[in-house]
């Protein structure tokens, strides 16, 4: 039974996952699309916004427009923030742990250390490369680019879903946009968390002091993280976490914000408790629930991988509170 509950808040701003919905108002009449989006999303440079427009990742009422398109109140502007993946991705026979697969989508248990998308510094050896090798018939908008609508950090393990068809991608994007997807995680936080359960409601954006990091910042994108304490130890707390939004590094940033960063997190974390050997951040995507394109609800779960379980076993062999 939960003994205590709290709500931890800061200023919120905008909408949903990697896909943002913007609603132009009267004062935006006639404003250029690129200028409007850049002003609405100050974390994005004008050049980045123009690149997203050219890549077809910014739509007005579902239609691609040019940067100089003039905005009208009442239109709906959607911005897909996921970085563009090259049109053709090289197939690489990387082993995959497949939890579920049909003609429209595939659910995978991603191991720690696997990057999701090709990017500078990681042009190959990614989950996208592995998906192309496993399912060469993937067809998203006429390309072999898999429809990965959410991401996990390189060193976060667990469940991730990708679309194999336009039908699958449309369904997944709609569910992510309307926040109908249930996303559960297990994290080991440093220190002792007093609350038995809590909600962290604090906007996330680029850290103004270090653009390579994210931080809780005024005017950032809304981010909501809920957690329940599963188990307490002398210098750590095991948490079951559900995220309502899916911002970059959200759980890691939020736990660091309340003073209890994820153990093993080299970016946002602190010193690992003595006696513990943690090779990476203790964060695992343990549950994923959504609807298949036909409407059937599905739910998947993933147990802790061996490296994280070993950390818990070591803690339990010590002196839990």
Q: In CATH, what number is assigned to the domain containing residue 39?
A: 3.10.290.10
**Model confidence pLDDT, tens digit, residues 59-84:** 888 888 999 999 998 888 888 876 55
Do 273 and 214 share a domain, yes or no?
A: yes
- Would residue 88 count as lying in a domain? no
Instruction: Tell me the pTM.
Output: 0.75
Residue 292 lies in a domain: no
pLDDT of residue 130: 95
pLDDT tens digits for 295-311?
A: 999 999 999 999 999 99
Domain that holds residue 57: 19-80
As a whole number of angstroms, the distance between CA 18 and CA 80 comes to: 6
Measured distance CA(124)–CA(162) in Å, rounded: 18
- pLDDT tens per residue across span 167-185: 999 999 889 988 899 999 9
What are the residue ranges of helices labelled H in 125-277?
A: 127-134, 166-177, 250-257
Single residue among 54, 80, 106 that ends a domain in this structure: 80
pLDDT score at 14: 36
Q: Do 169 and 271 lie in a common domain?
A: no
Residue 89 lies in a domain: no
Q: Which of 116, 143, 178 is the last residue of a domain?
A: 178
Tell me the C-alpha distance between 29 and 114, whole Å: 44
Same domain, 220 and 191: yes
In a domain, 92, yes or no: no
Q: Are residues 194 and 272 in the same domain?
A: yes
Q: What is the spatial distance between Cα 172 and Cα 181, in angstroms, rounded to a whole number? A: 9
- Cα torsion angle, 63, 64, 67, 69, sign: negative
Question: Residue 116: inside a domain, yes or no?
Answer: yes
| Judgement on whether residues 28 and 121 belong to the same structural domain of the protein | no
Residues 192 and 282 in one domain: yes
Specify whether 312 is located in the same domain as 192: yes
- Nearest 10 degrees: Cα torsion 177, 181, 182, 183: -70
Q: What pLDDT score was predicted for residue 9?
A: 44
Please indicate, yes or no, whether residues 157 and 187 belong to a single structural domain of this protein: no
Q: What is the pLDDT of residue 255?
A: 97
Here the tokens at position 129 are 């490369």
Tell which residue, 54, 105, 103, has the closest CA to residue 80.
54
Together in a domain, 206 and 311: yes
At 35, list the tokens: 């200028």
Q: Are residues 267 and 215 in the same domain?
A: yes
Catalytic residue among 153, 155, 184, 201: 153
Q: Evaluate whether residue 291 is within a structural domain.
A: no
**Annotated catalytic, 153?**
yes
Q: List Cβ neighbours of 312 (8 Å cut-off, separation of 6 or more).
A: 188, 238, 304
* 166 and 144, same domain (yes or no): yes
d(CA 271, CA 72): 52
CATH code of the domain containing 279: 3.30.2350.10
Sorted by sequence, the CB contacts under 8 Å of residue 296 that are 6+ apart come out as none
In a domain, 260, yes or no: yes
Could you say which of 178, 210, 244 is where a domain stops?
Answer: 178
What is the domain count for the chain?
3
Same domain, 41 and 146: no
Token pair, residue 121, equals: 């510094």
pLDDT along the chain (321 residues), means of 10: 44 47 87 89 80 87 89 88 61 95 96 85 85 90 81 94 94 90 96 94 85 82 94 94 91 96 90 76 97 96 96 80 41
Closest CA to 216 of 172, 259, 164: 259
Residue 66 lies in a domain: yes
């Amino acid at each position: 039974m939960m003994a205590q509950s709290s709500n931890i808040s800061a200023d919120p701003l905008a909408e949903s996952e990697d896909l943002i919905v913007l609603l132009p108002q009267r004062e935006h009449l006639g404003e250029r699309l690129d200028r409007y989006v850049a002003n609405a999303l100050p974390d994005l440079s004008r050049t980045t916004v123009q690149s997203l427009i050219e890549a077809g990742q910014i739509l007005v009422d579902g239609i691609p427009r040019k940067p100089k398109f003039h905005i009208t109140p009442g239109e709906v502007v959607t911005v897909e923030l996921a970085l563009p993946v090259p049109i053709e991705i090289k197939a690489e026979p990387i082993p995959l742990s497949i939890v579920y697969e049909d003609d429209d989508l595939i659910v995978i248990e991603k191991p720690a250390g696997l990057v999701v998308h090709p990017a500078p510094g990681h042009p190959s050896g990614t989950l996208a490369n592995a998906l192309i090798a496993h399912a060469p018939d993937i067809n998203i908008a006429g390309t072999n680019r898999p429809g990965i609508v959410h991401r996990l950090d390189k060193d976060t393990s667990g469940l991730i879903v990708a679309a194999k068809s336009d039908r699958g991608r449309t369904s997944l994007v709609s569910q992510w946009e309307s926040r109908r997807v249930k996303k559960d995680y297990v994290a080991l936080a440093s220190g002792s968390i007093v609350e038995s359960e809590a909600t962290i409601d604090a906007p996330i954006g680029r850290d103004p002091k270090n653009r390579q990091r994210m931080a809780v910042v005024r005017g950032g994108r809304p981010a909501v993280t809920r957690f329940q304490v599963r188990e307490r130890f002398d210098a750590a707390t095991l948490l079951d976490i559900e995220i309502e939004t899916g911002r970059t590094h959200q759980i890691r940033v939020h736990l660091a914000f309340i003073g209890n960063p994820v153990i093993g997190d080299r970016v946002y974390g602190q010193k690992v408790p003595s006696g513990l050997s943690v090779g990476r951040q203790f964060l695992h995507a343990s549950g994923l629930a959504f609807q298949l394109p036909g409407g059937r609800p599905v739910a998947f779960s993933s147990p802790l991988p061996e490296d994280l379980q070993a950390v818990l076993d070591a803690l339990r062999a010590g002196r839990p509170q």
